[in-house]
Structure 1
Amino acid sequence: MSVAGPPGPVMDRDEVDRALARLDAEHEAIETSLLALQDHAGRRLLEGAGLTGTTQERWTATERQITLLWAYFDAYAGALRTARDIRARRRWPNRDDLAELTELLRGESVTVAGGAAPAPSSITGPAKLTERFTLSDLVARMNDLYAHSLDMVVAADAVWSALPARIDLLAAELQRTRQLAHSVGVRPGEHPAGDDLERITAELTLLREQVVTDPLAFWQPATGSSAPGGGRPHTERYDREARALEDVRREIDAVLTVRQDAELRLGRLRDVLSRADRTLAEARSARGEVLAKIAASEVPAVSGPPTVLQEQLAMASDYRRHAQWHRLSPLLESLEEKAEDELLRARESLTAVTQPLAVRAELRGRLDAYKAKVARLGHAEDPLLVERYDAARRMLWSAPCDLRVAEQAVLRYQQAAAEVLAPRVPQQGGPTDRRGEA
C-alpha cells in the first residue's frame, strides 16, 4: 500500500496502544452485533418467506446491506490485523512504524473493492467500484447500515410475532361460531349473520396471507423514535373483523336464547291472546246488555279478534317445530309487542262499552247514599223526599234507562235532601218552622 505520509502529527507509542485497544473493543462489539443479526429469528424468517410488496422490496435492499456489512467488517478486521502486526514488530516502535500505524489508524487506509456501499439514505443507488475509508468512518458507515438492517428485521419480526397468532385465535373463534350458527339454522343466503360469517372468513384468510407475505405493510413506525424497530403493528383490519364477529356472536346468542325459551314464550303469547279474546267477548256481551238496558246512549262497536295474530302464532309454532330459530327470533319479538297491544285494545274496548253501565251504577250508589243519610237524620218519611226518591229509582231500575233523565231525577232528589237537611233559623216572634226544628 503506497501512502503519501501520515495524516497529521505522527502518533506516539501510547496513542497507538490506546487507539488499538479502542479498536479492538469496537471490533468485538461489531462482531457480536453482526452475529446477533445473523442469528435473529426475524432475519431467518425473512430468508425463508415468500415475500411480496413493501417487505420484498425492503428485504432485497436489506440483504445487500447485510452482505455489505460483512464486507466492511472483513476490511475493518483486516486493517486492524495489519495494525496489530506492525505494532508487534518491536516493543519500542521506530518512527517509520509509528508513521505507518498513524496512516492505518487515522488515514483513509481501508479500501473496499468490488462494489462498495452507497450512502445509507440511498442504499439501492448506484454502486462504486471501490471506496476508501478511515477506520472511524468505516465504523460509522457500519453503524448506519446495521441500524437500517436491524430496523427492518425487528419490524417484520414484531408483526409476525403479534398478528398471525391473533388472527389464528380469531379464526378459531370464528370456526366455533360457524358451527354454532349452523346448529341454529344461521346459514349464508338465509340469514344476514350467515353472510357476515362468510365475509369475515374470507377477510381473515386474506389478512393472514398478507401479514405473512408482507408484514411491513402492517407496520406503523413510531414518530421520532430512533430505537431499532420503533413502532407498532397496526391492527385496524383485524380489530374491525373482531368487532364484526362479536356482533354476529351476539345475534347467534339471541337465537340460542330463543331456542331455549321458545316454548315458554309461545305459551305466554297464547295466554295473552286468549285473555284479549276473552276480554273482547266480554265487551261484546256487555254491549248487548248496554243496548238492552240503557236508552239514548251511543255504544261503540266491538271488533273481533285479529286473525293475523293467530296466523302468525301458528307460523311461530311451525318455526319452532322445524328448528328455524333464526326466523322464530324476530317473529316472537314482533308478536309479543303486538299481543300486548291487542290486550290493551281489548281492555279499552270493554271500558268504553261498559261506560254507561258504570254511570248508571254510580247514580244508583249516589241515590242510595243520600237516602241513607236522610233516614239517619230522621227524614225518611218526608213526602217530598219519598216522591223524588221513587221517581229517580224507577228511572234507574227500569229498562231501558235514560241516563240523562235519570241523572236529573237524582239531582232533584239531592237538592230536596239538601233543603231538608239544611238548618233553619226561626224568625223573631214568629212560629218555628218544622224543618228548622229538625
Structure 2
Amino acid sequence: MDRDGVDRALARLGAEHEAVETSLLALQDHSGRRLLEGAGLTGVTKERWAEADAAITRLWRYFDAYSGALGAAREIRERRRWPSREDLVELTDRLRGPGVLISGAAVEGAPLAERFSLAELVSRMNELYASSLDVVVAADSVWSALPARIDLLAAELHRTRALAHSVGVRPGEHPSGDDLEAITAELADLRARVIEDPLAFWCAVAGSSAPGGGRPDTGRYDRAARALEDVRREVEAVLTVRQDAEQRLIGLRDVLSRADRTLAEARVARGEVLAKIAASEVPAVSGPPTVLQEQLSAAAEYRRRAQWHRLSPLLESLEERAEEELRRARESLTAVTAPLAVRAELRGRLDAYRAKVARLGMAEDPLLMERYDTARRMLWSAPCDLRAAEQAVLRYQWATAEALPSPQQAQQDQQDQQGHRPVREWPDGPREGDA
C-alpha cells in the first residue's frame, strides 16, 4: 500500500471503529438488555439470552482487540510524515492481513485462538451485534406491548367482575361467573409467562431487515379479550333485565291474557259452529298453558328477590313461548271459525248474483227464483250443510249464466235500441227521436 492508500484505509477503519463503538454503547444502555439482565427468565428466552449475553461479551473483546490493532497501526503511521518502505509494508500487513489474534476459551483442554484481519473482525462484530440486537429488541417489544395491555384488560376485568357480582353473576351460580374466573386465571398466567419468557410470544417475519424482524404474538390476549367482551355483554343484558323487568313482566302477562281470551273465544266459536254447521270437521280447542303461568310466577319471584341472573334467561324464554302461544291461539280461532267464513262467503256470492239478476230485469224468472230459494234456505238454516249449500249456490250461478244474454248479444241489443228510437205524435206531426 502507498501512503494515500494507508491513509484512506485508516480513515475508513476509524469511521467503522466509531460506528461500532456507538452501537455497542447503545446496546449496553438499551432498556431491553437491562430488563433481560435483571429478569428471572425461563424457556426459549433464557436460552437465547444466554447466547446473546455471551455474544455481547465476545463483542466487547473483539472491539478491544480491534481498537488495539487500529491504535497500533495509527502509531506506526504517525512516526513520520512520509513513511518508509518498511513502515508501508508493516502497515499493509496490519491493515490487510490476519494480524489480530484473539484468544478463546479452552475446549476439551486445548486452548483456542481466533485470528482475523481488521475487515474480517468488523464483519464478525456486525454479525454478533445483529443477532444480539434481535434478541434484545424482540424481548423489549413484547414487554412494551403485552404487559401494559394485559394490565388494562385486567382492570376492565375487575370492573366487570364487580358489576357482575352486583347482579348476582357469581362463580357456581351463573356460567358467566365461571367464565370470569377462567379469564382471571388466564390473564394472571399470561402475564407471568410474558414476563418470564417474552420470546415465546414473538412472531418472527422472514425476510425482514429491521432489528427483531417480527411482531408480538397477541393470540392468547385476544382470545381473553373476546371472552371478557362476551361476559360483559351478558352482564349488561342482566342489567337491562334489572331495569326493564317490571315492564317485561307486565307485557308477558298481557300476551298470555290475550292468548287466554283468544282460546276462550275459539271455544265459544266452536260451540256455535257445531250448532250451526253440519257435516264439518271442527278441531278441538286446548286449554290455557298452565306451565307458562307457573314460570311467570317464578319470574315474578326472581324479580322480588333480585335474582337477576336467573330472571334474565327465564324472561327471554317466556317471551318467546308467550308469543308462540298467542300465535297458536289465533291459529286455533281461525281454524274453528273457518266453516262460518265459508258460509259467509257463500251467502255473499248468492246475494251478488241475485242483485245482478235483478239489475237485468230477470228476477221473476221461475227457474232462477226456485234455485235461489233453495240455496238461500240451505244457507240460512241451522245446522247448515256446507257441501250441499255450495252445490246449490253453484246451480244458481249456472242457471243465471244460461239465462243471461251473452256479451255479444247484449251489445247487439243495445245497438238495436239506439238505432230504432220511438216515434211520438206531436201537434205539428210526428218527430223522430223525440222522447
TM-score range, shorter chain: 0.7 to 0.9
Q: How does 1:29-428 map to 2 (within 5 A)?
A: 29-113=19-103, 115=105, 128-373=111-356, 393=376, 395-404=378-387, 406-407=389-390
Q: Distance in 1 between matches of 2:121 and 2:110?
A: 16
Q: Distance in 2 between matches of 1:399 and 1:368?
A: 19
Q: AA paired with 2:204?
A: P
Of 35-44 and 384-393, deviating more is: 384-393
Q: AA paired with 2:163?
A: L
Q: AA paired with 1:188?
A: P
Deviation of 1:72 (Å)? 1.6
Of 209-218 and 194-203, deviating more is: 194-203
Q: Distance in 2 between matches of 1:235 and 1:374?
A: 86
Task: Give the RMSD, CA atoms, in angstroms.
Answer: 3.2
Change beyond 3 A, Cα 1:399–1:127:
farther
Per-residue CA distance 1:98-131 (angstroms, 9 max, x = gap): 4443333333333323639x9xxxxxx9994433
Of 168-177 and 302-311, deviating more is: 168-177
Per-residue CA distance 1:380-406 (angstroms, 9 max, x = gap): 667776666666555544444444555
Per-residue CA distance 1:293-349 (angstroms, 9 max, x = gap): 344444332211111111122222223333333333332232222222222222222
Asked if the contact 2:3/2:82 (under 8 Å) is kept, the reply is yes
Per the normalisation by structure 1, the TM-score is 0.81
The aligned counterpart of 2:426 is none
List gaps (5 residues or longer) in structure 2: 410-435
Change beyond 3 A, Cα 1:263–1:78:
same
Asked if the contact 2:134/2:211 (under 8 Å) is kept, the reply is yes
Deviation of 1:32 (Å)? 1.1
Of 58-67 and 130-139, deviating more is: 130-139
Per-residue CA distance 1:50-107 (angstroms, 9 max, x = gap): 1111111121222222122112212222222222233333333334444443333333
The aligned counterpart of 2:420 is none
Q: AA paired with 1:277?
A: D
Q: AA paired with 1:115?
A: A
1:16 and 2:1 correspond:
no
Q: AA paired with 1:357?
A: L
Q: AA paired with 2:207?
A: G
Provide the identity percentage. Answer: 79
Q: Distance in 1 between matches of 2:199 and 2:272?
A: 85
Of 165-174 and 214-223, deviating more is: 165-174
Kindly tell me the number of residue pairs found equivalent between the two proteins: 407
Q: Distance in 2 between matches of 1:202 and 1:49?
A: 22
Asked if the contact 2:104/2:114 (under 8 Å) is kept, the reply is no
